[in-house]
Structure 1
């Protein structure tokens, strides 16, 4: 089994905002979003989600146009079809659209649907668009331009229409009480930062002509982001500082200096490691953000309290659900948030 990268998609102008919305759709808006850990950029397609072990793939093609015709949408399906007929198995084939014309859907209220919601008058046009585009592409074998294969493929395609603002896509990452959600400007700034990080991956290495034996080998080329990177980026932006780094938070110094000098470095590293685990534990994201909210609100209500006093006012039930922290690392997290609010 092998897969050779032979697509000219990298030469096309990028609808960067749409591709980032597509990434955040995969990360937060699907029932199986928690399974997706890697987001591989411009390798198999515009974007491909991958689980932690690299053996399950969510393939996605994005298009930013607001009113593409059924025929044009068909042409845009070509890279998904390329992967459908490849030797690699993709679990899902998704086309993420900026909008559609009124001639496409049976039920115009659905923004996520399969081929069964495509009008009978639109389906032949969509198929013709796909067939015509397949004939133009050197990476589609003539034997694969087959009615049966195309029909099987279309039954697996999932259509997603962008119906959220940039800020709404970011809010889904931050599971917080609306009263402490960042401002609209901050949310858009976070979106733009994710977009820039995603766009930067396209220049990481040249992959045209690369042959893979297994999907996980795509990660060797560095053209991917992870859910952990994105969550950390968001938290850094909310707190206006690097959450995980070498610097000792100012509010943590009183605790830090009481530690034996030869053990201080290990203390700091252990606290940062626990915070990393908590932030990146996909099974406890809801509890992590509830803890963040509890700490944030406690600091706002007691702005002059030191970390030790704030710690004793936290909700013990919420703390008990966040098993990645111990006493010291939780006080470290309180310090990080307190310093972020004070900046």
Structure 2
């Protein structure tokens, strides 16, 4: 089984807004978002989501145009079709579009739909566009361009219409915790940072012509981001520091100094690891953000209280809902947030 990287998109120099929106759509809005760990940039396609052990792939092509005709949509499907007929198994095929013309949808209120919501004449034009584009691409064998395969492929495509501002896609990471949500301008700035990181992945060493024999080998070229990295970026902007880039937080020093000397560093590392596990635990994302929100609020409301006092003010049920934290690691977490916010009050 071999897959050779070949794409007409290789000359594009930067990740467009549509590509970053597509990433954040996969991360926060797709029905399988909790399963997706890696976001592979400009390798199999504009973007490909992958689960933690490379057992499942979500392939996505983005199109920024806001009024695409059925035929134009069909042409944009060609890279997804290439992956559909490849030797590798892709579990999902998604076309993320900036907008479509009135001749596309039967029910224009649906922002996420399959081909059963495409007008019959529009579907005919879409197939024509896909067929034309397949015939001009050297990376698709003529033997794969059959009516049966095209119909089978189209029945597996999910069409997603972008209906949100960049700031809304970033806001979705934080969910509904109002106290944590920065201004619209700040959210847009974070979006731009994610877009730049995504763009930088596209500008690493060329991968055109490289052959791989398993999907996990795509990670060897480091054209990927993880959901954890993006969450970390958001948290860093909320508390004005990277929670893991320095040593002991100043507000944790008294607790740290009370540890026996011989285990201080080990205990500190344990606290950092617990924080990391809590942040990246996909089973309790809402619980983590609730705890973050609660901690943030208590620090803002009581800026003169120390870590021990803030710990005592936190709601017991909210603390218990994050199983990765114990008493010491939660106090480390509080100290980290407090240090990051100290210039804000």
State how far apart, in whole Å, the 1-side matches of 2:329 and 2:314 are. 14
State how far apart, in whole Å, the 2-side matches of 1:69 and 1:14 are. 25
Q: Aligned residue for 1:205?
A: 205
Q: Aligned residue for 1:181?
A: 181
Q: Aligned residue for 2:297?
A: 297
State how far apart, in whole Å, the 1-side matches of 2:265 and 2:93 are. 47
State how far apart, in whole Å, the 2-side matches of 1:106 and 1:14 are. 34
Residues 23 and 99 of structure 1: CA distance in aligned 2, closer, same or farther (over 3 Å): same
1:13 deviates by 5.7
Deviations 1:199-226 (A, max 9, x none): 1111222211111111111011100001
* 1:23–1:39 Cα contact (<8 Å) kept: yes
- SS for the counterpart of 2:198 is helix
- Runs of 4+ in structure 1 off by over 4 angstroms are none
Q: Aligned residue for 1:120?
A: 120
* 2:15–2:199 Cα contact (<8 Å) kept: no
Q: Aligned residue for 1:143?
A: 143
- SS for the counterpart of 1:190 is helix
Q: Aligned residue for 1:161?
A: 161
- SS for the counterpart of 1:140 is coil
1:10-29 aligned within 5 A:
10-12=10-12, 14=14, 16-29=16-29
1:79 deviates by 0.1
1:133 deviates by 0.7
State how far apart, in whole Å, the 2-side matches of 1:294 and 1:328 are. 17
CA RMSD of aligned residues (A): 1.2
Deviations 1:247-284 (A, max 9, x none): 32121122222223333222221111110000000101
State how far apart, in whole Å, the 2-side matches of 1:73 and 1:180 are. 38
* 1:24–1:170 Cα contact (<8 Å) kept: yes
* 1:15–1:63 Cα contact (<8 Å) kept: no
Q: Aligned residue for 2:340?
A: 340
State how far apart, in whole Å, the 1-side matches of 2:231 and 2:12 are. 29
TM-score, reference length from structure 1: 0.97
User: Are 1:104 and 2:104 counterparts?
Assistant: yes
State how far apart, in whole Å, the 1-side matches of 2:79 and 2:265 are. 50
Q: Aligned residue for 2:44?
A: 44
Which runs of no fewer than 5 residues in structure 1 stay unpaired? none
- SS for the counterpart of 1:48 is strand
State how far apart, in whole Å, the 1-side matches of 2:168 and 2:55 are. 30
1:1-343 aligned within 5 A:
1-12=1-12, 14=14, 16-343=16-343
Which runs of no fewer than 5 residues in structure 2 stay unpaired? none
- SS for the counterpart of 1:37 is strand
1:328 deviates by 1.1
* 1:298–1:310 Cα contact (<8 Å) kept: yes
Of 11-20 and 59-68, more deviation after overlay is shown by 11-20
State how far apart, in whole Å, the 2-side matches of 1:230 and 1:166 are. 14
